[in-house]
Amino acid sequence: MQKIASNIDTLKDHYEVVVVGSGYGGGVAAARLARLGREVCLLERGREIIPGEYPSTPFAFLKEVQTDTPLGRIGSPLALFDVRYNPEINVVVGCGLGGTSLINAGICLTPDARVLQDPSWPAALRAEQWQPYFARAEQMLTPACYPESYPPVAKYAALQRAAQVLKLKVEPAAIAVTFKEGVNAAGVMQHACTSCGDCVTGCNYHAKNTVLMNYLPDAVRHGAAVFTQVKVLHVERAGERWQVHCHAIQIEAESITTRSFSVAADVVVLAAGTLGSSEILLRSAQHGLPLSAQAGQRFSGNGDMVGFAYNNDCEINGVGRGAAAAAAATPPGPCSNGVIHFSGAADMSQDAVLEDGVLPSAFAAFLPALFAAGSKLTGVDTDPGAVDKLKEIGRELRSNVLGAQQGAVHNTLFMVAAGHDTAAGMLYLDNDRLRARWPGAGKQPELERAHRRMHAITETLGGTYIKNPVWNALTHHSVITGHPLGGCCMADDAGGGVVNHRGQVYSSQQGDAVYSTLLVMDGSVIPRSLGANPLMTIAALAERNTELLAVQRGWRSH
């Protein structure tokens, strides 16, 4: 696969459209507007990493982690995994061309209809027919379920077994993964999934349908210019145009240098993710841009929770194998194969999804010691007994001696849940750095409910339940999310949110006047938790609002 980013030295002073960010929102905007013949420039703060370059060893993985804490930053600002630590809620996002699509499980779900009818959405969206926009996103992302022709997956069978006992139903997960070799809709050659399980450290086999595999190359094919290692700081109104103020980031011989510059645009689309777009608008307000006072408000973690059914009585095979998967008789499969829907209750806050997961091969060396310690510190053995205890000790010894592909770790199910929360978090700038506050974030009943569901699944498998390691009394029940939402929420006026239903930014603290040429198109505009993985909702909203922008400006296909 050829790289698509251009040299920063070729960046011009002015473009018709500048798109900031390259995830599901930015990818959609760049591709659709480029197809309309617009002069599009896309700016991405991370670097371009293509299949074959993603980390597959512990050392390579550790080099790809950057951590932002209240005390400072650790690691390269271009590292793939961007971990934001805050006392009450932690966030993990991707940093690279393709955004978080590079490191997610690629689960393609649409929210329950009740979620999309919730009063938190603008009235125009509650009256909208979403299906055409979901369908348009599906055409590019081409989600598929794990084929019956592939080898059986043990973790999926275990999830089915648990669901049967609990009288629940497991459905095959539609995931953004290719299972048949061929050229995709964007003209990119993709290979069939090898079932290696390394989806969340970056697919090295051209099989995962990240934005880098579809929307972004489609944008470039239609004339868009893509520039990486560019961090956008703030935007400023300059007559009829916008000035986008940036830092170009260079790393040479472990030395980091930045160069300040700005680029002019007729239209700016902020799609830097929930954290990135919120940060840019908050900083823009500090530089004098009138905005709604709601900027940074209604931050949500989408009800995310993780847990582990450790050292079960049955095989799980939930650790990635990387290049060794091709020779394995029973490969682990893609990150997620199945999903359990908890829905139907009168109280929508009880709705959630629970999915299986794979811990990638780059983590394998750490897992035996981590799980052994975790089981003793916070683990709850769901089937105590002398005989069973001896078996568990034997499996743990096998993992400690022979590695994560054997014994207790081999029999461990990684569980991921997405549900609902109160969206009561706040994003703000502290000494020009984005921070998050959410007192009581980890004590919401929705998270406790997810915890109980994971415990029940573990009990059916005869394992030891290990809850999210940061969700405990010592950390004041701090939570972690990979699906941050909100901060630039949609609303019917500036008193209720930051953007209107089109994604246009409100230009004052009250009323419905907007900057018609400054838009936000990413997870930050979503005004509540979704009860499902959000990628399809983000892409569908971007499809809709890019179309509305084109109609408003009279842009048509040439």
* Residues 203, 543, 13, 49, Cα dihedral to 10°: 0
**Segment 135-149, tens digit of pLDDT:** 999 999 999 999 999
The tokens describing 102, both together, are 């590079």
**Segment 495-505, tens digit of pLDDT:** 999 999 999 99
Examine the pLDDT at 473 and tell me if it is beyond 60: no
**Alpha carbon distance 122, 72 (integer Å):** 38
Q: One-letter amino acid identity for 521?
A: M
**Alpha carbon distance 329, 223 (integer Å):** 45
For 452, phi and psi rounded to 5 degrees?
Answer: -65, -35
**Alpha carbon distance 373, 49 (integer Å):** 34
**Alpha carbon distance 498, 292 (integer Å):** 5
Three-state secondary structure along 218-250? HHHHCCCEEECCEEEEEEEEECCEEEEEEEEEE
The per-residue pLDDT for 449 is 94
Sign of CA dihedral 3, 5, 7, 12: positive
Task: Let me know if 253 is exposed, middle or buried by CB neighbors in 10 A (0-12, 13-18, 19+).
Answer: exposed
Residue 439, number of CB atoms within 10 A of its CB: 12
**Alpha carbon distance 66, 73 (integer Å):** 7
Containing H/E element for 276? Answer: helix 273-286
Instruction: Give start and end residues of each alpha helix (H) in 112-257.
Output: 113-116, 123-126, 131-141, 154-165, 215-221
Report how far Cα 45 is from the mean position of its chain's Cα atoms: 16
Cβ–Cβ under 8 Å, residues 173 and 61: no
Candidates 84, 8, 14; CA nearest to 45 is 8
| pTM passes above 0.75 | yes
Stronger pLDDT, 132 or 475, i.e. the higher one: 132
For 230, phi and psi rounded to 5 degrees?
Answer: -125, 115
Neighbouring residues of 508: CB distance < 8 A, sequence distance ≥ 6: 290, 291, 292, 494
Report how far Cα 329 is from the mean position of its chain's Cα atoms: 31
Neighbouring residues of 158: CB distance < 8 A, sequence distance ≥ 6: 312, 314, 315, 316, 356, 413, 461
Q: Rounded to a whole number, what is the distance in angstroms from the first to the last CA of the chain?
A: 29
**Segment 261-297, tens digit of pLDDT:** 999 999 999 999 999 999 999 999 999 999 999 999 9
7 by DSSP, 3-state: which? coil
Report how far Cα 475 is from the mean position of its chain's Cα atoms: 24
Q: Strand 72-74 vs strand 65-69: parallel, antiparallel, or unpaired?
A: antiparallel
The full set of domain ranges for the chain reads: 143-198+305-418+441-476
The edge-to-edge listing of strands for the beta sheet with 170-172 is 170-172, 338-342, 352-357, 413-418, 305-310, 464-467, 380-381
**Alpha carbon distance 227, 248 (integer Å):** 10
Residue-wise burial string across 334-362, b where 16 or more C-beta atoms lie within 10 A, e elsewhere: bbbbbbbbbeeeeebbbbbbbbbbbbbbb
**Segment 322-360, tens digit of pLDDT:** 988 877 778 999 999 999 999 878 889 999 999 999 999
201 by DSSP, 3-state: which? helix
Residue 492, number of CB atoms within 10 A of its CB: 15
The per-residue pLDDT for 1 is 83
The per-residue pLDDT for 558 is 61
Percent share of the chain, pLDDT over 90 = 91
Per the prediction, the chain carries an average pLDDT of 95
**Segment 75-110, tens digit of pLDDT:** 999 999 999 999 999 999 999 999 999 999 999 999
127 by DSSP, 3-state: which? coil
Q: What share of the chain is helix, strand, coil (3-state, %, to 5)?
A: 30, 25, 45
- In this prediction, residue 528 has a pLDDT band, given cuts at 50, 70 and 90, of very high
